[in-house]
Amino acid sequence: MLSCFRGIIGSSSSSKDGSSSQSPNGSESTLVNEKSEKVSMITSTRTSKSSATLYTNAHLVGFEKEGLSSVLVQDGRVEWIAAADEKKELPEIVERIDLNGQWLGPSMIDWHVHSKLAAQSEHRVHLDSLKSAEGVFARIREALGDPKYDREDLIGVDMRNGDWRDNDQMNRVNLDEKVSSTRPIFLFYNGYHSVVCNSIGLTKYGQKAEGSGILKEHAAWPLTHQLGKVEDEVMDGWIDSWAKDAASLGVTEIVDLEIDFNIRDWRRRAQNGFNTLRVNLGIYENHFEDAVKQGYKTGDIVDEDGLRLIKIGPFKMVTDGGLGSQTACCHDPYPNTTDYGMMNDSPEKIKLWTRKATEHGFRLAIHAIGDQANTYCLNTMASNPIPPLEGSTIEHAQLLVLNEIPIFTKLGLIASVQPVHLVDDRETCLKYWPGREHRAWALKSLADAGVRMKFGSDNPIAELNPWEAMAVAISRRRKGGLPLSEEQAVDVHTAWVSSTSNGRASIQAGDQADFVIIDKDPLKCDADGLRSISVQGTVLGGRWTYRK
């Protein structure tokens, strides 16, 4: 089992401006761009100097027996909720919006995204549908001449090799001989924990052109960071577009775990007018001291002079690898090998940093995918003299030892999970975690033990789509696909409250006015019903960020 620790190396240093010589980036997959019909189903009566908004004739999610309601929003918060026919005193100036019987509920949150990688995803070659190394080679040969990928470095993402028969053919030599030896090529496995490079790609970024050309974990992270460098203006434009896509799906808030100097980047975006999402910024070891020197802790506002949408989020550690790269650290070796995966951090380092971050006022977000990594993290955190702050999470919690789940409740930890991973990685799970499927993405076991869950996407590893995430959580399958351990499905109420921005089924007086307006009651939907929900509008702090 100690082989899991072979990936541990020293952490890199950071400068005062937040630059880093070694900085891992998150994960990669498909960015969904849903185009809405240009048909408005919301009618409104506008006034030019509105100071409050009254939503009328609304069905409220969670109160289906109450009939139609009215909701008054003032100064970005819910002032009151009343029956539609109840007479209530209104402000002198009020905008009235008739929802015509549509459903109003708390908006959606995505608890785990990587903003830069997600924004870059549309500019990289997607390989998730390909079923062989030869298929990948053919797709990359086509992309060599595609003007869409006009940067010198050609980057492919989201390789899923769970059902490849020729997996051993994916290496540096074949990339050189079958694709190109003159243009740098970098192909990432699903999860961004490993990358295959051709020889010129390796040498361009200071690596030796030898062996398989496959870099994993710490060896891959500096390269991931270098390949992700894009001019600030270009990146901010991409992120603005990505955020608007999220808003069109009812999302008003994200936890951004991009491994970069998020404070600097998001402060700049806020100053330049970003106003689409609430953003909770992940802080990593490389930038922890910078954040502390600035006096920050979890919950502090970064854009004090703006809309106050940008906050400091959790302290994040990536303790092990990923299933897609077969680097998730497990109690059992990967089939037909003596390889248990990789721990990026020792238990001693996990204990040191979780305690240090907690003492400085940071909630924790601890990446643990394999069951051995989860064992190390849960037991290490339980041995600390002070418990983690409320809202701290195990990120992913993909493979668990079921009798260790009570440690979550003992420590008050949240399981931050990405349901769509279980269908995206179904074949990979069956191949590399055989006989353990019932412990993979064990949502019902967590729910039955009273563990709070927060759903996310890990976008761009999986699509940022909370409706698909909920549908998968209650069905354990993609539409028309095969299931994975159906006994671990949760009920729709659990899926809904794990996805809402307020963590509840419904809104109440005093809440931030962060709403989603939809065409049906999600609590009455099966998986197909959730997938077919149409978002009619998204409201952030009382103002529209999306309106169909």
The answer to the question of residue 146 being in a domain is yes
Domain count, the chain: 2
The answer to the question of residue 239 being in a domain is no
Q: Are 45 and 94 in contact (CB under 8 A)?
A: no
Residue 495 CB neighbour total at 10 angstroms: 28
Q: Which backbone phi and psi does 171 adopt, to 5 degrees? A: -160, 175
**156 and 211, same domain (yes or no):** yes
Indicate if the pLDDT at residue 473 is higher than 90: yes
**172 and 136, same domain (yes or no):** yes
Helix axes 262-271, 285-293, angle to 10 degrees: 60
Give the CA distances from residue 396 to residues 285, 367, 374, in Å, rounded to whole numbers and listed in that order.
Answer: 19, 6, 10
The answer to the question of residue 514 being in a domain is no
**212 and 73, same domain (yes or no):** no
**66 and 157, same domain (yes or no):** no
Length of the chain: 548
Give CA–CA dist 265/235, Å, rounded.
Answer: 10
Indicate if the pLDDT at residue 2 is higher than 80: no
pLDDT band at 3, cuts 50/70/90? low
Give CA–CA dist 260/120, Å, rounded.
Answer: 14
More confident position, 543 or 21: 543
More confident position, 530 or 123: 530
Which helix (H) or strand (E) segment is 108 a member of? strand 108-113
Give CA–CA dist 425/100, Å, rounded.
Answer: 41
Q: If you ran DSSP here, which 8-state letter would residue 124 be given?
A: S
The answer to the question of residue 531 being in a domain is no
**18 and 151, same domain (yes or no):** yes
Paired with 437 in beta bridges are none
Indicate if the pLDDT at residue 8 is higher than 60: no
Please list the helix, strand and coil fractions of the chain in percent, rounded to the nearest 5, in that order. 30, 20, 45
Average pLDDT of the chain to the nearest whole number:
90
**60 and 16, same domain (yes or no):** no
Give CA–CA dist 350/345, Å, rounded.
Answer: 6
Indicate if the pLDDT at residue 112 is higher than 50: yes
**124 and 173, same domain (yes or no):** yes
**The residue to which tokens 């808003």 are assigned:** 247
Give the pLDDT score at 250: 98
The answer to the question of residue 72 being in a domain is yes
**pLDDT mean over 94-102:** 97
pLDDT band at 260, cuts 50/70/90? confident
Full DSSP string of 1-26: -GGGGGG--PPPPB-TTS-BSS----
